[in-house]
């Protein structure tokens, strides 16, 4: 994990490694076993947030992904472009809304 902070949910650790130009992964934090890895090319940095059912990922290129919160397999449920310029700030979830700060603006998205 080069710049992104991992997130922990019960017995699952989710993160973005620098391998394959940004590869999302899930592992067992107790024994280090990798449970799944995404295909790669997700970006240099990602802000990761967790809920009971979902992993939310905002990449530097403004792509917001909703991923199933499971250790069984990588399953992307949806992808949304939420910014046209780089997004280095961590996203904020406000109920059914998403606050995104990109290079030049602050936007509130409703889902």
pLDDT tens track for 41-86: 777 789 999 998 999 999 999 999 999 999 999 999 999 999 999 9
Structure tokens at 19: 């391998």
Question: pTM for the whole thing?
Answer: 0.90
Facing residues of 12 across strands? 9
pLDDT per position as a tens digit, 6-41: 999 999 999 999 877 789 999 999 999 999 999 877
Q: Which residues contact 58 (CB under 8 A, 6 or more apart)?
A: 46, 47, 64, 65, 82, 87, 90, 91, 100
Whole-number pLDDT of residue 2: 74
CATH of 7-110, one of 3.40.50.150, 2.40.128.630, 2.30.42.10, 3.40.50.261: 2.40.128.630
């Amino acid at each position: 994990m080069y710049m992104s902070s991992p997130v922990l949910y019960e017995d699952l650790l989710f993160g973005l490694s620098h391998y394959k130009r940004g590869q999302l992964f899930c592992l067992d934090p107790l024994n280090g076993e990798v449970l799944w890895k995404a295909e790669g090319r997700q970006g240099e940095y990602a802000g990761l947030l967790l809920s009971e059912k979902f992993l939310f990922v905002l990449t530097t290129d403004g792509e917001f992904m909703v991923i199933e919160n499971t250790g069984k397999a990588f399953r992307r449920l949806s992808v949304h472009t939420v910014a046209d310029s780089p997004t280095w700030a961590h996203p904020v979830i406000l109920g059914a809304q998403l606050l995104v700060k990109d290079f030049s603006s602050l936007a509130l998205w409703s889902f």
